Each structure stands twice: as structure tokens, then as C-alpha cells.
Amino acid sequence: MTHVPHELQEEFPEAAEVLHQLKMANPHFQALAERYAQVNHEIHLIESEVQPASDMAAEDLKKERLVLKDEIADLLRDAGAIG
């Protein structure tokens, strides 16, 4: 499998340990992280031209990924993992 850019560990490298802890202890965070990974993978398939999609569908997925990333960042900020 090829490398999928925008993984949470790459987006928040300074918070790797807290990412893991929140995934294990916080069901809401776990659901957000799983949905982020799913959306990110779909975007990667579209951008790699493995899966066809309209420009609108691709943009909608990118917007969803951004919303998820913002919510994840808020939870990491609350946990003191990022500034």
C-alpha cells in the first residue's frame, strides 16, 4: 500500500503520544480519528486516480477532513498536546 499523506501523526507530530492516549480512552475522539482516516483514505484514492469522483465530491471530502481535523485539534489543545 502506498503512503497516504495527511495522517494524523503527520499533522500533529508533537502530539503522537496524546493521540494514542485519546484514541484508547476517549470514544468520541476515537470515532473522530476513525472517520478522519476513512475520509483521508478516500481523498487519497481520488487524488491517486484509483477511484473516480467528481470535483464537487472531492471538495466535499476535503471540507469534511478539515472540519474533522479542526475538531481533533481542539481536543488535542484541551489535552495540552498542542499550543
| Structural domain boundaries, residue 61 | 16-78
C-alpha cell at 81: 498536546
| Tens digits of residue pLDDT in 39-81 | 999 999 999 999 999 999 999 999 999 999 999 999 999 999 8
Could you tell me if residue 27 is inside a domain?
Answer: yes
CB within 8 Å of 5: residues ≥ 6 apart? 44
Position 3, amino acid: H
Report the domain count for the chain.
1
Could you tell me if residue 83 is inside a domain?
Answer: no
Give the model's pLDDT for residue 3: 66
Could you tell me if residue 39 is inside a domain?
Answer: yes
pTM: 0.91
How far apart CA 37 and CA 2 sit, in angstroms, is: 14
